């Protein structure tokens, strides 16, 4: 039996219609190096999606490998309640120097969805314990994505993930999100006064008195198709949350650690949230780890004699795992010592230029947008009207298949092709990736 058939005999893959695997069997990867994956047949795939946005510094980075190996011989795991260890302490100390100002307390979990769930519970309990038991609901942006646990799905607004579970979900308030590509005011991303912020203002005026927190993906709504909005929107949202005593939760799981050109997306707006969720790039994509980071003010609302019942009774078995902390410490050291972020910032315009040169004039490219090294190509049926393709055609998925044949790993979001490569991508690798992407697009439309 082929190994692909054994895979299908046992494994239910995530975020997949398994019937698709009848025509496109799983690709079994044997090894990886840098930006390249190699399957068991020797075929290479240029990974410009960072294997679901988490591979920050390339696959099998020798410094991260060594850090994990060294930690493995010392301590692999220990209960994190009433016990601790040096890697976790050091990691929090280092992160405290780079996260937005005022974020000082670190609560560990094991994945992004769990860190969001933790933030929601913290915000709810904070309001209850500071004399606002009426504040029980959450605000979120339309077309948002924050994970796939029940709480995280409740504050997400993408029906693809959440619609079938509606009877199970919390009753949340959805604020119409910015859509700069199809702006209802006829403005553009770089030349507006965030007129669309009126929807947030209206929602706060009507519902803020019963809401404990607002959660956002700052500047970039990833699963919505890499939608990008201006920093001014985030600044206004911070002011609105302060005005109405609503906590601001920044979901930086996808945007943290340099993805947007700055260490955190919030840095573009110069604001600090009340709670911030990080994961994915935290360990360079090596090990599952997440952290919910909050302020002293939020922490103090839980600090009391045990008999008062104010403790945050929330736990994960693998909280603060030493191996994950070792990987995260190695990532921080590489970011500091190897000039990673400045180099990535310097190379980002080159990726913008070659994508625009190769794809910008194609009649089915509606927009090429970018934030740091993150680039998105939105394909449309008609440029003038920005009319999308019929979703049933699965244009993005078909181009994905052509790209695999060309040795490029894309993972389209509907009909939005995107590049979210490791920060270490070179100009030569950019050229190769863009050429393979262009070839795959031409392959599809030539059919």
Instruction: Name 31's Cβ contacts closer than 8 Å, sequence gap at least 6.
Output: 38, 60
pLDDT band per the 50, 70, 90 thresholds, residue 426: very high
**What is the tens place of the pLDDT at every residue in 300-356?**
999 999 999 999 999 999 999 999 999 999 999 999 999 999 999 999 999 999 999
Q: How far is CA 147 from CA 41, 51, 96, 167, 324, in A?
A: 34, 16, 25, 17, 20
- Per the prediction, the chain carries an average pLDDT of 97
User: What pLDDT was estimated at residue 232?
Assistant: 97
The HSE-up count of residue 129 (CA atoms within 13 Å, CB side) is 19
The DSSP-derived string for 174-199 is EEPPP-STT-TTS--TTS---GGGHH
**What is the tens place of the pLDDT at every residue in 4-43?**
999 999 999 999 999 999 999 999 999 999 999 999 999 9
User: What pLDDT was estimated at residue 158?
Assistant: 85
**What is the tens place of the pLDDT at every residue in 245-261?**
999 999 999 999 999 99
The DSSP letter of residue 26 is P
**Consecutive H or E run containing 373:** none
Domains of the chain plus CATH, in order, are 3-60+339-445 (3.90.1150.10), 66-337 (3.40.640.10)
Q: How far is CA 29 from CA 18, 34, 47, 52, 419, in A?
A: 19, 14, 12, 15, 20
Enter the pTM of the model.
Answer: 0.97
């Amino acid at each position: 039996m082929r190994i692909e058939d054994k895979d299908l005999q046992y494994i239910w893959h995530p975020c997949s219609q398994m019937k698709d695997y009848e025509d496109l069997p799983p690709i079994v990867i044997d090894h990886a190096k840098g930006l390249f994956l190699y399957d068991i047949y020797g075929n290479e795939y240029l990974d410009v999606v960072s294997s679901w946005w988490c591979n920050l510094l390339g696959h099998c980075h020798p410094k991260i490998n060594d850090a994990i190996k060294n930690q493995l011989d010392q301590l692999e795991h220990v209960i994190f309640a009433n016990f601790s260890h040096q890697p976790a302490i050091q990691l929090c100390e280092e992160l405290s120097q780079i996260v937005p100002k005022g974020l000082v307390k670190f609560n560990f979990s094991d994945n992004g969805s769990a860190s969001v769930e933790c933030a929601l519970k913290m915000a709810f309990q904070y309001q209850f314990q500071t004399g606002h038991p009426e504040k029980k609901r959450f605000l979120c942006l339309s077309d948002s994505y924050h994970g796939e646990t029940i709480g995280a799905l409740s504050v997400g607004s993408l029906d693809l993930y959440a619609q079938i579970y509606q009877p199970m979900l919390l009753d949340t308030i959805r604020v119409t999100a910015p859509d700069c590509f199809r702006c209802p005011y006829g403005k553009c991303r770089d030349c507006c006064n965030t007129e669309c912020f009126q929807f947030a203002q209206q929602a706060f005026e009507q519902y803020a008195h019963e809401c404990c927190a607002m959660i956002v993906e700052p500047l970039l709504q990833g699963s919505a198709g890499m939608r990008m909005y201006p920093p001014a929107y985030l600044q206004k949202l911070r002011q609105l949350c302060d005005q109405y005593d609503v906590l601001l939760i920044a979901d930086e799981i996808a945007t943290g650690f340099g993805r947007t050109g700055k260490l955190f997306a919030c840095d573009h707006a110069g604001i600090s949230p009340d709670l911030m969720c990080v994961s994915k790039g935290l360990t360079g994509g090596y090990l599952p780890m997440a952290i919910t980071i909050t302020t002293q003010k939020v922490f103090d609302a839980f600090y009391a004699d045990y008999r008062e019942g104010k403790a945050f009774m929330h736990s994960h078995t693998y909280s603060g795992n030493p191996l994950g902390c070792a990987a995260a410490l190695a990532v921080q050291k590489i970011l500091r010592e190897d000039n990673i972020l400045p180099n990535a910032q310097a190379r980002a315009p080159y990726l913008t230029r070659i994508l625009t040169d190769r794809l910008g004039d194609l009649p089915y490219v509606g927009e090429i947008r970018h934030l740091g090294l993150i680039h998105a190509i939105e394909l449309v049926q008609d440029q003038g009207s920005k009319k999308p393709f019929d979703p049933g055609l699965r244009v993005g998925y078909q181009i994905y298949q052509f790209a695999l044949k060309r040795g490029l790993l894309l993972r389209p979001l509907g009909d939005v092709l995107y590049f979210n490569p490791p920060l270490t991508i070179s100009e030569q690798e950019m050229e190769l990736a863009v050429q393979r992407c262009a070839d795959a697009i031409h392959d599809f439309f030539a059919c």
